[in-house]
Amino acid sequence: MNRFLASLLAGASLACCATAVTAADAAPGSWVQLFPAGKTTARDGRGPFDAGDRAWMETVVTNTKKLAGSTEIVIDYDHQSVFAAVPGVGGTAKAAGWIKELQARDDGLYARVEWTEAATAAIRAGEYRYISPVFLADKTNGRLRAIRMAALTNTPALDMTPVAASTLFPSHNPTGDSMDKILAALGLDAGTNEDGVLAAINAMMTSSTAIAEAAGLTKDATSEQVVAAVKAARSDKKTIFEAAGFQESATTDQVVAAFKSKTGSPDPTKFVPIEQVTQLQKDMKTLQDTLVGDKAEEAVASAIKDGKLAPALKQWGLDLYKAGKDKFETYVASAPVLTGQQLAQPKKKGEGADALDDAQLVVCRQLGIDPKDYAQTIAAESAA
């Protein structure tokens, strides 16, 4: 036994007093109260014991850490670590949990406990409800000196908070105000029990999963991803509604009906059937050809009258005008005025170049056409 422990034991007595700790739930890494602040007396009459104020409990934490050294402080079942060797008691002294951290608070001394699976199941099943610290206290005034260990038990000596209530919400400040804030955040009434809290949390988790899947995401999507997807969907909705001529306050059915009406019957002031467009194009082509023909007749007749074109070349003049108005006008502008003899239509002498009259020969010279070729063209047209 080291000197520190010896000095503690010299003026202290070993005691164990159970503290009420109901266990409907034991969360891993949860905080439980080991000892209440101030003075308290055990139900069997021992005490009073005095944990002092927060400053003194900080000293208790320091003493406890020194006493434990590198060994973690055990929480067993029914103090079997202390009494297992007592004849008639027996036990295996299995650990129910391990104290990972101690903390002094205004209302008492707290421990962060890592429960075993078996202890967690027992607490939730209601097989164990309270926690009992084994501690060193001053023999003369009952002042708390250090914590040796603790145990799960159903026979508490001290009147303290049940385990279940202490461990439901692991917190560094498990006060009533904090619990009320948690309940308010979940939308629950003050005093809602554990089952109500768990039901609310499960409902929130189910809702968040449903929202993520509705947004086209996986159920494990983060809140940031869900928010981004919802914003994108709302932006798309706004664009679609505006395209249909509606505000966002309109219903989806109204927008769908608007799109169906647009696709079902086109606006007659904006659309024309393709058959009518095709027929209109044909009519326009016919009208255009007629107008060009009329202008060609007028232009050729004027050229013949002015002596710029021989009457025998009327059809050629019409074809030239239709092929290109500028070409015809260029020819007429550069053609000499024909004489009366040239404008006459003499009889053809044969089938060769000598079959051409004087006017036709003049045209051949002006256009650079071989008279024989032109004579053959005229012969072919006559035969046709």
339-358 confidence digits (pLDDT tens): 665 555 555 444 555 567 76
Residue 37 has pLDDT above 60, yes or no: yes
Whether residues 104 and 240 share a domain: the answer is: no
Whether residues 115 and 25 share a domain: the answer is: yes
Whether residues 147 and 15 share a domain: the answer is: yes
Whether residues 221 and 362 share a domain: the answer is: no
Last residue of a domain, one of 182, 210, 245: 245
Whether residues 210 and 146 share a domain: the answer is: no
64-85 CB burial, b ≥16 within 10 A, e <16: beebbeeeebbbbbbbbbbbbe
Predicted confidence at residue 178, as pLDDT, reads 64
The answer to whether residue 314 sits within a structural domain is: no
pTM: 0.41
Whether residues 79 and 208 share a domain: the answer is: no
The answer to whether residue 144 sits within a structural domain is: yes
Residue 361 has pLDDT above 50, yes or no: yes
Number of structural domains (the chain) is: 3
Structure tokens at 10: 């010299």
The answer to whether residue 177 sits within a structural domain is: no
The answer to whether residue 32 sits within a structural domain is: yes
Whether residues 157 and 201 share a domain: the answer is: no
The domain of 235 spans 194-245
The answer to whether residue 112 sits within a structural domain is: yes
Other C-beta atoms closer than 10 Å to the C-beta of 124 total: 14
Whether residues 206 and 87 share a domain: the answer is: no
Q: What is the pLDDT of residues 38-95, one digit of tens each?
A: 888 777 677 788 889 999 999 999 999 998 888 999 999 888 887 665 556 556 788 9
The answer to whether residue 329 sits within a structural domain is: no
Whether residues 135 and 11 share a domain: the answer is: yes
Whether residues 209 and 128 share a domain: the answer is: no
The answer to whether residue 114 sits within a structural domain is: yes
Whether residues 355 and 234 share a domain: the answer is: no
Residue 24 has pLDDT above 50, yes or no: no
The answer to whether residue 350 sits within a structural domain is: yes
Helix (H/G/I), strand (E/B), else coil: 313: helix
Transcribe 188-253 into DSSP letters.
Answer: --TT--HHHHHHHHHHHHHHHHHHHHHTT--TT--HHHHHHHHHHHHHHHHHHHHHTT--TTS-HH
Predicted confidence at residue 115, as pLDDT, reads 93
Whether residues 110 and 77 share a domain: the answer is: yes
